[in-house]
Amino acid sequence: MAIGPPTDRMPPLGLPTINTQFGDLFAKWIVEDAPKAKSFEQWQTASFPSNITQGVEPDDDFDRDVLTNYGEYLLGTNPDDPNSRWRPSLTLDATQGVLSFKTVANRAIIVEEAPNAVRGPWLPLLYPANRFTFPSEGGATKTFVFPRGEQKFFRFNVTAP
């Protein structure tokens, strides 16, 4: 068995090899992206007048649009406007379904599917684009096309870093 020159292989363990691309990406995140990220408490202070104390907790729904304040925080919608919504779409035709949604900056959104909405089991949709990432900018559309067949239910697992 022939072994190529050292450039074809991983360096031996223990050597101080630096990945400069990762270092640059990490530095950009620290300097540019991380300072923009708000905690729920920071968002809450900026989103509600200081004289309002009722209906502003994470599990409350200030604008009564069926999305909790924490959900509004995660999805970047306005907690004081019931018409401000994050809107995934699902279209069906005779042969396929198309599920799409806009990404949200600094939020990982994983699509889960189940054959039964109550009993599950809820599993991540097995598509390469359905991965745990935190985009620095939102607004890109993710689309999943699947064949029509058995009944499926979908939900979105949204996570902040």
pLDDT in tens, the chain (161 residues): 455 455 555 556 666 667 777 677 777 767 777 677 788 999 999 999 888 888 999 999 999 999 999 999 999 999 999 999 999 999 999 999 999 999 999 999 999 999 999 999 999 999 999 999 999 889 999 999 999 888 899 999 999 98
- Which string of DSSP letters, residue by residue, matches the chain? -----GGGSPPPTT-----HHHHHHHHHIIIIIGGG---HHHHHHHHS-TT--TT-STT--TT-SSS-HHHHHHHT--TT-TT-----EEEE-SSEEEEEEE--TT-EEEEEEESSTTT---EE---TT------SS--PEEEEEEES-S--EEEEEEE--
Chosen CATH of 89-159 out of 1.10.3470, 3.30.1490, 2.60.40, 3.30.70: 2.60.40
Q: What are the domain boundaries of the chain?
A: 21-85, 89-159
